[in-house]
Amino acid sequence: MTEKCDVLILGAGAAGMMCAIRAGQRGRSVIILDHARAPGEKIRISGGGRCNFTNIHAGPKNYLSANPHFAKSALARYTPRDFIALVEKHRIAWHEKTLGQLFCDDSAKDIIRMLLAEMQAAHVKLRLETSVSTVSHDGGRFRVATSGGVIEAESLVVATGAKSIPKMGATGFAYQIAEQFGLPLIETRPGLVPLTLDPAALERLSPLAGVAVPAEVSHGKTAFNEALLFTHRGLSGPSILQVSSYWREGDTIRLKLEPASDIVALLRQAKQKNGRQSAQTALAEILPKRLAQHVVEKSGLTGNLADMSDKALTTLANEVQDWQIKPAGSEGYRTAEVTLGGVDTTCLDSRSMAAKSVPGLYFIGECVDVTGWLGGYNFQWAWASGQAAGEFA
């Protein structure tokens, strides 16, 4: 038996559920399916279990795409304020953590419950543990063969996410559908991902594994001022994850540790106050102990401050604030929070997210070549692109 609906959505993640809600509210009959056992699994694990559901500063400048203008329309029509209003309607308590990042006070599950309640109110039918075998398009309608039977729909919305964290069911299925309908793709790569170092650099930095420090990490003219973490594999922490989305194999990144401190001035002061102390002791006042030790050993300036010239103090300061590192690679999709690239935006309408060449076919969320910074920007794109498609599908 063939089931019929107006809108069939593949993928019950952030973008798919948002789209289902809006299309349902417009009176469209909507089915949303997912091969997972539960909807919104990435929402559940996001933000350390508290879901960084948006960023109050979200705007087109916070996204990477081959066409930086594409995201403007959807982001302008569904803003962080709109999502906050929805969260407040459901009495979910939230707080700003830092840099405009909004988190649930209690649990990310509150966001999933909110989306499910809105879907129910909009009469959306949710089918879980349902896989798709084939998609065809005939006579202006889509026929989708699923493990639960054939579904025929006027509009088909692809919201199956991207390749990050395959362990959680990420498939890259959206790209297959795009290719089937002749839509171009922008090459994909892992984003918001820890960077790895070659064995020699790893050995040099191994005593620092576990050390966290404020840092300005830059790639060309792009710089992020957030925490950095030395790990057993290389470098992580928010500043590194941010820069990883811009970094390409072979590129060098620059690290300025403790960027807010004038290290030379601090060392001069320490020398004046107590010249008999070592540079390591003085640096340990502002840096984690192991980092202070590493910096001093690397510089070879192990004596007392009193014996050090201004040039030596500058050398020490540069050891802290002028690192150039060539990462060997990244940890890949296994740990990447997002996938860069995806369905080429040139083939989509930026107002509706519809494929220009296939009436009724839509792509939303992470499968599209729009990728946000770390800090709630990716969910804001999922909500905004889902809403945009839900308005037209």
292 interacts with ligand FAD by CB under 6 A: no
378 interacts with ligand FAD by CB under 6 A: yes
242 interacts with ligand FAD by CB under 6 A: no
13 interacts with ligand FAD by CB under 6 A: yes
Gyration radius of the chain's alpha carbons: 25
340 interacts with ligand FAD by CB under 6 A: no
Could you tell me how many residues make up the chain?
393
46 interacts with ligand FAD by CB under 6 A: yes
Residue 192 CB, nearest distance to ligand FAD (Å)?
Answer: 8
Number of residues that bind ligand FAD (CB under 6 A): 36
Single-letter code of the amino acid located at 120: Q
What b/e string do you get for 159-184 counting C-beta neighbours within 10 Å, with b at 16 or more? bbbbbbbeeebbebbbbebbeebebe
365 interacts with ligand FAD by CB under 6 A: yes
Taking Cα atoms as reference points, which of 393, 337, 383, 391 lies closest to residue 115?
Answer: 383
* From 46-54, 223-231, 278-286, 345-353, span contacting ligand FAD (CB under 6 A): 46-54
329 interacts with ligand FAD by CB under 6 A: no
10 interacts with ligand FAD by CB under 6 A: yes
Residue 114 CB, nearest distance to ligand FAD (Å)?
Answer: 15
249 to 141, 195, 200, 244: CA distances (angstroms): 43, 10, 18, 10
**Residue 19 · residue 157 · CB < 8 Å:** yes
What track of x and - describes contact with ligand FAD for positions 48 through 67 (by CB under 6 A)?
---xx---------------
Instruction: Compute the distance between CA of residue 69 and CA of residue 370 in angstroms, rounded to an integer.
Output: 10
Backbone angles phi, psi at 83, to 5 degrees: -70, -35
**Rule CB under 6 A: which residues touch ligand FAD?**
10-16, 34-36, 41-42, 45-47, 51-52, 131-132, 159-161, 164-165, 169, 171, 173, 337-338, 365-366, 376-379, 382
